[in-house]
Structure formats: structure tokens, C-alpha cells
Structure 1
Amino acid sequence: MANFADWRDRMLRAVWRQGDDLPEEVSDWMSELYEEIGAISEENFCELWTSRTFSMARAAFQVVKDSAEEETRKKITGEEYCYIDYMIDPETGPVGVVRIKSEEVSTPDWEEILGTMAEGVQEFIMSHYRIVWPICETHRSGLHVGYFHGLSVWNCREGATGGHVVKAINPATCLQEGV
């Protein structure tokens, strides 16, 4: 019977993540999974990894979509918009890749998925409506996805310091004052 560390290493090799820094959220999920159902097979683990990633992507898409629609007063719906989907291609990896527009993610980490969904929605708004979203109110320029202390954020690349964090991508997330 394998111990958790051996099983974890084997599962990370199965999803082609060995050597990567694993987000704490994903590591905690793997630990909980192991405690709950034990040393499952690589095939079953890859299915759970993909299902979790896709489920989280749908939730993250809703967060970003709601924020974008509120700020732009434009709908992020319709036949012309390709919602998130996923595919598993044995030539590119054992787990599914979630896609939204030209953006892809394959790790069940909330902040990485949220950032990917934000980039996809941003790409849609720019190509479909020909408007820039979101915008830094101070510099009147478009924002870019970034990560700050493990949170996905909207960054402005303007200003004397070469850029600054404007806000969290998830409106429910509060950032420290002075950021």
C-alpha cells in the first residue's frame, strides 16, 4: 500500500506536473481526496482532476461574466460566444484542458482558473464589442490579469512605478489597503 507522499508524486507525474510548484489549494485537495478514498488509480485521478478543473472554470466564468456585464452593460451571451469547454487530447496530456476563447487552463487552482476566465472574457469583449474592459480609472488604460499574494488581480501597467494592482478579479475578494 502506497503512502500519501508516494501516491501524490505518482499522481502529479500522471498529470504532468512533477517539479512544478503546486498551489496550496490543489495540494490540500489531493490530501483530502487521499484521506477520503485512498490511493485511487492514475486514470481515476486524472478524471477527477479534469472534472474539478472544469467545474471550477464554470464557477469562475460566472464570477467574471457577472462583473463584466455589470461594468460594461454588455451581455456575455449568445451564439457568437463560445462558452468554456474542455477536451482531452492524449497527445498533449492525460488531463483535460479547459478553454475559453484562446485561453487555456488545466490545473484545478481557483486563482489560476479565475485569471484564465478573466482573460477569455476580456478577449471576447474586445473582439465582439470592440471595447476595452476593464479600465484603470486613474490612467484610462486597459488592465491586465496578474497575481498578487496568490490572488488573481487586474493590473494597470501605467504610472510612475511601472504599474499597480487596481482590484481583485473576483469582486468578493478584498485586497489590503495601499495595494
Structure 2
Amino acid sequence: MPDDQYRHAFTRWLTRLRDDIEVHFNPFHRDPAVGEWLYSLFRDNGEMTTAHLAPHVMARRTLLAESSVAALIRDIRAAGHRAPDIVIDVMEPGLPYSLGKISVEGTHIFSVDAQGVLAEAADGVQTYVAYPGWTVWPTCPAHRLGVHPSSTAGLAEWFCSAGHVLRPICRDLS
């Protein structure tokens, strides 16, 4: 297959994924790692159905969720808090989740990019830390308010309730 036809077939597959309401992520994501991952899947498997794509999405989300939670726990410890026992739930593909379901303490992971998963995992971890003892973590030192996770422009950040970005969620995901 000529190179142009191969690229066209790959783009057509990405468009079908984007239009599939069960996929829940943008296959045209600006993160080059997402494009490389999808291209390697296409190169090795051709145009996959949602059912064939599901185990690959599950594996990627699980790996990213695990590394995100590990980084968040390091940040919690660095802030002087006891490390929580965070649960990552994995539900295999089937009904009602055709791509399976990964969640961090009840927060569903929809992203397939590292920063998106980090922001979603941070939401679950933050909720878990807050629940038993009303611990607010992290807080904005300038306003003494709790902050919330956000993923904008491809970067996971803590956003202060007063309306500004505090800092990236984690500097090191390894």
C-alpha cells in the first residue's frame, strides 16, 4: 500500500474512532505520544473495531493510572501527610463500558494521554484524601483555599479556587 493511501486509511480509522460515542477520547489528541500509540496499533493490527481496541485502551489507561497514583502519593508524602491506600478499579470491557472502565477511587479515567489521566487520577485521590478527615490537599499558599485538578493545553495543573493556576500537578510521573 502506498504511503499516502496508508496515511489516508489511518486518518479514516481515527475519524471513525472520534465519531464512536463509546470511545470517550479524542484520537486526534495533540499529545504526540497518543498519536504514536494509535499509529503503532494501526500499523500492527490494521483498522480495529472497538472490541479489538478495548484491551489496548485498558492496558494504557491502567499503566497511566498506576504511574499517576504513585506520583500523587509521593506528593502527598512530601506535603507531610500519611500515604493513602488508593484503589484503582479495573472493569473489563463489556456492557455498559465497551472499552472497559478504569477508575481511581471512583473517578472514571477517560483520557489516554498521560496528563489527562494524571488530572483525572488527581481528582479521585484528592476526594479520597478529603473524605475521612476533611483534609484539604493541596492548598494555595496565597489564598489558603483548596485547589482542583485541571488538564488544559495538555498539562495537568492544580487550579486555585480564587481563579489562577497554582502549579503542575506532578513534575515527575516516573
TM-score interval, smaller chain? 0.7 to 0.9
* Backbone CA RMSD of aligned residues: 2.6
Report matched runs for 1:19-168 at 5 Å: 20=26, 22-25=28-31, 26-35=34-43, 37-39=44-46, 41-42=48-49, 43-77=51-85, 81=86, 83-88=87-92, 90-158=94-162, 163-168=163-168
Residues 136 and 142 in structure 1, CA contact (< 8 A), matched pair in contact too: yes
Distance (Å, rounded) in 2 between the aligned partners of 1:19 and 1:111 = 13
Deviation, structure 1 residue 138: 0.3
Quote how far apart the aligned CAs of 1:60 are.
0.8
Identity %: 21
C-alpha change, 1:67 and 1:18, in structure 2 (3 Å) is: closer
What amino acid does structure 1 have at the position aligned with 2:46? A
Residues 45 and 17 of structure 1, relative CA distance in 2, 3 Å threshold: closer
Distance 1:10 1:147, change over 3 A: closer
Return the alpha-carbon distance in structure 1 between the equivalents of residues 99 and 48 of structure 2: 14
CA separation in 1, counterparts of 2:110 and 2:165? 25
Amino acid at match of 1:164: H
Q: Evaluate the alpha carbon distance shift between residue 143 and residue 128 of structure 1 in structure 2; reply closer, same or farther with a 3 A threshold.
A: same
Q: What are the ranges of 5 or more consecutive residues in structure 2 without an aligned counterpart?
A: none
Deviation string 1:37-90 (CA, Å, 9 cap, x unpaired) is 14054233221111111111111111111111211321212xxx5x11211363
TM-score for both structures, normalised by structure 2: 0.80
Match in the other structure for 1:171: 171
Q: What amino acid sits opposite 1:168 in the alignment?
A: P
Cα separation, partners in 2 of 1:48 and 1:102, compared to 1, 3 Å:
same
